Amino acid sequence: MAAESVDSNKSKWAGSGALQQILAFASLIILIIFFSLASDNFLQWSNISGILLSTTVIGILAIGTTFVIITGGIDLSIGTGMTLCSVMTGVFLVYLDLPIVIGVLGGIATGALIGLFNGFSVAVLGIPSFIATLAMMMIAEGLALVISGASPIYFSDITGFNSIALGSIIPGVPIPNAVLVFFIMVLIGWLLLSKSIVGRYTYSMGSNEEATRLSGININRWKMKVFTIAGAFTGVAGVIMASRLNSAQPALGMGYELEAIAAVVIGGTSLSGGRGSIVGTMIGALIMSVLTNGLRIMSIPQEWQTVVIGFVILLAVYIDMLRRRKSA
């Protein structure tokens, strides 16, 4: 009975979700064409590579929070959580002098623990996700500053760490490793959401949590799993950010959660839960990066770039509201 309910919820999502992906992809193509005509420098490989590289961190954060938003929740802790994961990676590699593999896994595990704590607060303690993750956002920010002594942790003496993000494992192809990691995360997120029981229950909880509970599914346990998965993606983003900068910056991270959530919404995931996709989120993250890069190339002042992006987010949320009204 539970499987039938979940499959029904997933099939209801499929039609409108596919349409939303097409619209998001069409918007991305229109932006690319517009900025290509506006500037001859836009389609140069160096600029395209820069767009892809700038998409990685926000994109990975967005993939993780897609799971949470589909359940009908929200995660405001991913920005500062990413910073704490970067700092802990620095602690493992610089302070404790552990091997790179252990340090990287430790950074990812830190993210998973943050997610697990969020999930416990929401599922077991019954705290609304907005409040629970807002509190964690402040906790992570404070811990990052305390643990690092409010000073950056540099990886200059850690051989090969910088190559995790900026190196290239494909001979003759100047694609940074961070971009490959991003697409690997897209694949993992897609498999989890579309081909596993985690994804089926994620959609089901977001579509009708009470019906899912009555179907015999342990809502609390699966919510904790969803938040833990989102936290693991945050950990990966933290490692990539630290590698890109070759340092852990404890004051960095605030505001990243808003950009990631914006990418999720632009990609077609409904803030009310029950609908969304990893492919749509990837497209949404690319739209954010292309828009920011294009405005910068056109020499639009930073403050006006922020205004434009704000209006784009507002439009995406409004479209989501119209879609929900039509479905109702």
- What pTM does this model have? 0.91
- Give the closest residue to 257 by CA, choosing from 118, 161, 151, 150: 118
pLDDT of residue 17: 60
Task: Count the alpha carbons within 13 Å of 299 in the hemisphere toward its beta carbon.
Answer: 2
pLDDT of residue 328: 64
pLDDT of residue 274: 87
- State which residues of the chain have pLDDT below 70: 1-18, 327-328
pLDDT of residue 9: 47
- Give the closest residue to 2 by CA, choosing from 290, 213, 262: 213
Are 129 and 74 in contact by the 8 Å Cβ rule? The answer is yes
Residue 172 CB neighbours (<10 A): 5
Residue 298 neighbours by CB under 8 Å, 6+ apart: 35, 38, 39
Tokens standing for residue 292: 């920011």
pLDDT of residue 221: 95
Residue at 129: amino acid letter = S
pLDDT tens-digit series, residues 273-316 = 888 999 999 999 999 999 999 998 888 888 888 888 888 888 87
